[in-house]
Structure 1
Amino acid sequence: MPVHPRGLGRAYLLSACLGLITLTLSAQPAVETYYGRVVGETSADGTINIFRGIPFARPPIDSLRWRAPEPPDSWTGTKVCTTFAASPMQRSPEPFSMWSEEFLIPKEPIGEDCLYLNVWSRAGATQQPVLVWIYGGGFNSGGSAVPIYDGEAMAREGVVFVSINYRVGPFGFLAHPELSAEAPYGSSGNYGLLDQIAALHWVRDNIAAFGGDPNRITIAGQSAGAASVNALVASPLSYGLFHRAIAESGGLLTREPVSLAAAEDNGLRFADSLGGTDLEAMRALPAATIQATPAPLLRPILDGYVLPLPVAELLGPGRAREVELLTGWNENEGLLPGPLVDAAAYRARIRERYPDRAEEYLSYYPATNDSIARRSQEDAARDALFGIQNYGWSNLHAGYSDRPVYLYRFTRRVPGEGKYADYGAFHTGEVPYAYGNLDRVDRRWTPVDHELSETMRTYWVNFVKHGNPNGVGLPAWPAYSAARKEVMLLGDRVRAELLPDAERLDFMFYLQSLDE
């Protein structure tokens, strides 16, 4: 049968289109994991492979709610992993204070089926060092799909970047006597930390297929993510799963995990607020009902399993983990939402709370006038919430580990306009600098910002690769020691100096230890 010329043209066009589709599909990066084949996508220039939404555990839903994570089910065929999975169950985020939308998870999807991870790696590369990112959010919010957590810039520097999800809030840290009784390890809570450990097992077992080196894994996190890093370095359950650690603005030294008994009491009260139902009924409740129910402060638990002892003891004599550590905090992290009082009210508050130490307290955090009192309250909040955690850990690590620790303070005033202006070097502000993601944030960056980001990213990459941030062309970053407390200032200028407020931090560490 003769073919009409127009039909012949259509046939050629169809053939060409099918060939293009086949070429496009074959160009997508595919990897065989232990559980099945996954396909991702490449960056615009074709040099970076990107996989989003790879399962590392079974969905923690229905009967698996409030249980330790289980390995994912294997699958046949190819799983397309090109979009982020749901962020953990939490309230829908809204920009507030200094945090614009680039610092927050997307509004959707959000749900319980959240135990997935994402991988960025250089196409064709092998045996590259690995960085596993753990987000912050007070153990009540957060997720791996936050724009400033993008891993492409680090992958371009020869680092396989992995970001993980873990359960938060009542889904991640609820303890209850019945949950402890049913668990084979005899305790409950810390499901979020167990998720992180499960993700690290997946990374160790699968990352070579993505071009990573399972013998060079660094864990890194900020805020609650840094506290998680602190817990993971301390926990015996994570031995052998990583080799270096980066902790940005967070820890668990003076803000110790709550005891299992106290956490179980909190869980009983929470169950009462849900109607006093048994575990089976609680597991049958809609996730939205649980999320909408006011919960006590939920955070890591001294459960005898993930954390068998207080963190400071697990990092102390005879137990300190042999990992290199990079840690620090930001200059203006005391600028958190909350009321500040005038000088007279501030002095009265301190004298009431610390009657035997008030004058010493006011010598470190003075109240000469209202302006100075305001700054002192901000400095005290920064030191108590963040500074002493990372400073205290540096002292422990320098004293009891054979591996070095590198301490920093981020001082650059992050640009911002309108309601995001005038927050200085705020909490989380260092993240887009260190991971090369200024272009993910809509702010008026200057050449100083871009130069600082390049320097910080190079420090972080060098640490992930070698356990030492120093490199050619960089200002020298000395290792921290208890005898010579040197800190790297990362700001308008990058330089090392003796920590100017070590005595004040020692005082605050002592006070916070008493409060515990």
Structure 2
Amino acid sequence: MKKHFALFFTMIISGSFTFAQNSLDVVTTQTGKVSGSVNGDVHVFKGIPFAAPPVGDLRWKEPQPVTPWQGVKQCITFSASPMQPKPDEFGVYTREFLIPYQPISEDCLYLNVWTGAKSSTEKRAVLVYIYGGGFGSGGAAVPIYDGEAMAKNGIIFVVINYRVGVFGFFAHPDLTKESGHNASGNYGLMDQLAALKWVKQNIAAFGGDAGNVTIAGQSAGSMSVNCLVASPLGKGLFQRAIAESGASFLNGPYGGTTLKAAEESGVKAAQSLNANSLADLRKIPATELVGKFGSRPIIDGYVLPAPIAQIFADNKENSVPLLTGWNQDDAFVDKLKNAEDYKKQIVAQYKDKATAFLKYYPAGTDAEAARSQIDVSRNQTFGVQNYTWANVQSGKGKAKVYLYRFTRRLPATADFAKYGAFHTGEVAYAYDNLRFLNRPWEPVDQQLATTISGYWANFAKTGNPNGIGLPNWPAYDTKSDHVMVLGEKPAAEVLQDKAALDFMVEVIGEK
């Protein structure tokens, strides 16, 4: 008996044994205790560090471990957002879609947790959300990423920060040499991986199941999900994926540049800054680097050992169930051309394919040409990427795919109505956060938010979006081509513009 008691006592003081927490008022993580705030039945923890501040000599380095702390760290306010340009409103993107004006800092590697669990023994499904912003902006404190509603739906909701812009995606030969991996540039993706490792190690203390984690993201966040599914470093860190409007299978602005090309750009950037060494580069104030140089994932040989399409072709991806799709008006068109000018552009750009192009994206009238230009922009940037991912995965027959098209034109004043079912418009519905947007919502919007967030929560829990009270959502395959149309009356349909998508895949693939 004494022997057993001595062993029990040794396990406690060594930290190899942990008690189940009957209350989440104070949660013990591997680096220290944290407390949060309580909103009704939901505990909220804001600004939990998951990696050391990437400042000084840690700028452009793989995220490092957090220094443990004593006592209880109060996590009741959002951390600083990653370094980026001032978050001014533009187009349809009002404050609810943007990070707070302040604070913004290089010291940004923190995450937020919403949990409705009563104790650490519940093992609830976990959803880790990765924001968009073109890899150059964004942050975890954006209002429409609030996790309270999903927590009330039984999900442990986690939103993470990661480095963006030049701080998150900057390659240089000297950085490659010092890395220990013969690679450089994908610091933003490595931040995401570090956050997922933190979840795996700590989320049980918040009532979560470390073996039931869904990664989800929109736009650049969706492209990040695509990268993580492709990366060998993501193995075992998640079990499902939700990708909203973004992937990197085909040629495009975010298809992934080579390490050599990224290093060459990095050398030119250093020269333009009169920096002759990494030490010089790391001494440059962050404010002088903001908004400079490109930012996108790099085929670095480490995080991404090959182009994503090749990784999938070689069956080296992390095979997990996928829920993916895009929005009806996922488009960025500066100025719509009239029918005649649009046709001239297509003829000049696509030459012998122009006739076929105008068949699928016609211009019989100015109105038809306007619609076609939106469809072209949507399909070139987002539609064909997620469509190709769905086709590739369904063709393997290993893990199911659920494909959607979000078509609800968000109600708005005349200034905003023209944007329709715009890029990012579905996010507030997906996480049941309409209350954060100042829009003239109708009962159909509230019902749609309940439906879509229900699908997302069910998928995170089981890998299948279907559930009681929801319209049936059949899995996607290339024979039936079923897509869930998420509009005023959600229903499964055959993908109406399959031929136009297939044609665009062909055109992009030839570039």
**RMSD of Structure 2 on Structure 1 (CA):** 1.4
Out of 138, 146, 150, the residue aligned to residue 150 of structure 1 is: 146
Is the counterpart of residue 500 in structure 1 residue 496 in structure 2? yes
The structure-2 alpha-carbon separation of the partners of 1:426 and 1:495, relative to structure 1 and needing over 3 Å to count, comes to same
Amino acid at match of 2:47: G
Out of 297, 300, 305, the residue aligned to residue 300 of structure 1 is: 297
Amino acid at match of 2:391: N
Per-residue deviation, 1:320: 4.3
The structure-2 alpha-carbon separation of the partners of 1:395 and 1:226, relative to structure 1 and needing over 3 Å to count, comes to same
2:15 matched residue in structure 1 = none
1:283 matched residue in structure 2 = 282
Is the counterpart of residue 124 in structure 1 residue 118 in structure 2? yes
Is the CA contact (8 Å cut-off) linking 2:333 and 2:373 kept in structure 1? no
Is the CA contact (8 Å cut-off) linking 1:53 and 1:84 kept in structure 2? yes
1:424 matched residue in structure 2 = 420
| Partner deviation per Cα, 1:412-462 (whole Å, 9 max, x = no partner) | 011222533321100000001010101111111110000100111111111
Is the CA contact (8 Å cut-off) linking 2:54 and 2:106 kept in structure 1? yes
Rg larger in structure = 1
| Structure 1, unpaired ranges of 5+ | 1-25
Out of 442, 449, 463, the residue aligned to residue 445 of structure 2 is: 449
1:18 matched residue in structure 2 = none
The 1-side partners of 2:68 and 2:90 are apart by 41
1:58 matched residue in structure 2 = 52
The structure-2 alpha-carbon separation of the partners of 1:383 and 1:167, relative to structure 1 and needing over 3 Å to count, comes to same
The 1-side partners of 2:287 and 2:357 are apart by 44
1:9 matched residue in structure 2 = none
The 2-side partners of 1:513 and 1:268 are apart by 30
Is the CA contact (8 Å cut-off) linking 1:320 and 1:397 kept in structure 2? no
Is the CA contact (8 Å cut-off) linking 1:87 and 1:165 kept in structure 2? yes
2:12 matched residue in structure 1 = none
Alignment of 1:304-453 (within 5 A): 304-334=301-331, 336=332, 338-453=334-449
Out of 158, 168, 172, the residue aligned to residue 172 of structure 1 is: 168
1:201 matched residue in structure 2 = 197
| Partner deviation per Cα, 1:301-332 (whole Å, 9 max, x = no partner) | 00000010110121235334321100000001
- 265-274 or 85-94: which moved more? 265-274
The 1-side partners of 2:313 and 2:509 are apart by 16
Percent identity between the aligned chains?
52
Secondary structure of 2:352's partner? coil
Per-residue deviation, 1:169: 0.3
1:12 matched residue in structure 2 = none
| Partner deviation per Cα, 1:384-422 (whole Å, 9 max, x = no partner) | 111111110000110114111000000001122253332
The 1-side partners of 2:270 and 2:145 are apart by 35
| Partner deviation per Cα, 1:266-298 (whole Å, 9 max, x = no partner) | 112221221243210110111001115x32x32
Is the counterpart of residue 108 in structure 1 residue 108 in structure 2? no
Is the CA contact (8 Å cut-off) linking 2:329 and 2:378 kept in structure 1? yes
2:478 matched residue in structure 1 = 482
Per-residue deviation, 1:337: 5.0
Amino acid at match of 1:280: A
Is the counterpart of residue 238 in structure 1 residue 234 in structure 2? yes
Secondary structure of 1:315's partner? helix
| Partner deviation per Cα, 1:65-84 (whole Å, 9 max, x = no partner) | 00111111111111110000
Per-residue deviation, 1:342: 2.3
Per-residue deviation, 1:500: 0.7
Secondary structure of 2:351's partner? coil
Is the CA contact (8 Å cut-off) linking 2:24 and 2:206 kept in structure 1? no
The 1-side partners of 2:33 and 2:333 are apart by 46
Amino acid at match of 1:67: K
- 399-408 or 27-36: which moved more? 27-36
Is the counterpart of residue 90 in structure 1 residue 87 in structure 2? no
- 261-270 or 154-163: which moved more? 261-270
Is the CA contact (8 Å cut-off) linking 1:322 and 1:401 kept in structure 2? no
The 2-side partners of 1:154 and 1:28 are apart by 18
Is the counterpart of residue 70 in structure 1 residue 70 in structure 2? no
Per-residue deviation, 1:28: 7.8
Alignment of 1:12-31 (within 5 A): 29-31=25-27
Is the CA contact (8 Å cut-off) linking 2:147 and 2:157 kept in structure 1? yes
Amino acid at match of 2:64: E
2:36 matched residue in structure 1 = 40
The 1-side partners of 2:155 and 2:257 are apart by 36
The 1-side partners of 2:485 and 2:97 are apart by 23
Per-residue deviation, 1:265: 1.3
Per-residue deviation, 1:344: 2.3
Per-residue deviation, 1:343: 2.1
Alignment of 1:460-471 (within 5 A): 460-471=456-467
Out of 212, 222, 225, the residue aligned to residue 218 of structure 2 is: 222
Amino acid at match of 1:453: A
TM-score by length of structure 1 reads: 0.92
Per-residue deviation, 1:42: 0.4
Secondary structure of 1:357's partner? helix
TM-score by length of structure 2 reads: 0.93
Is the CA contact (8 Å cut-off) linking 2:23 and 2:118 kept in structure 1? no
| Structure 2, unpaired ranges of 5+ | 1-21
Per-residue deviation, 1:172: 0.2
